[in-house]
């Protein structure tokens, strides 16, 4: 199920976090990629089958997150990743 968080910078980003054991697996999407793509979906399915914690998210301006891609920059997306990672308890 997709949830949203507001980053410290005020951007609202979409994420999916599933609980599990072991270090959490995190999908960091590529340029203009989103968490509904084949790689992210396959990793999600694998994590579920293995009982592993898994986090995937859309950077601002991507997928189901708010904002326009054209208004973002690599530093913004790094801050988005840090905010999303703060949702994970335990090792990554």
Q: Using 50, 70 and 90 to split pLDDT, how confident is the model at 1?
A: confident
Dump pLDDT digits (tens) for 43-91. 999 999 999 999 999 999 999 999 999 999 999 999 999 999 999 999 9
Q: Is 61 left (phi over 0), alpha (psi -120 to 50) or beta?
A: left
Please give the mean pLDDT across all residues of the chain: 95
Task: Decide if 48 is inside a domain.
Answer: yes
Task: Decide if 61 is inside a domain.
Answer: yes
Domain harbouring 60, CATH code: 3.40.50.1820
Task: Decide if 92 is inside a domain.
Answer: no
pTM over 0.75: yes
Domain span holding position 53? 3-85
Q: What local confidence, expressed as pLDDT, does residue 63 receive?
A: 93
- Number of domains composing the chain: 1
CA distance 36 to 18: 15
């Amino acid at each position: 199920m997709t949830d949203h968080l507001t980053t410290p910078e005020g951007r609202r980003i979409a994420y999916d976090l599933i609980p599990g054991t072991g270090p959490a697996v995190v999908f960091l999407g590529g340029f203009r990629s989103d968490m509904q793509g084949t790689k992210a979906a396959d990793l999600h399915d694998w994590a579920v089958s293995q009982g592993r914690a898994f986090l995937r998210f859309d950077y601002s301006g991507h997928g189901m997150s708010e904002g326009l891609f054209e208004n973002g920059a690599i530093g913004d997306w790094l801050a988005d990743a840090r905010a999303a990672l703060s949702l994970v308890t335990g090792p990554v």
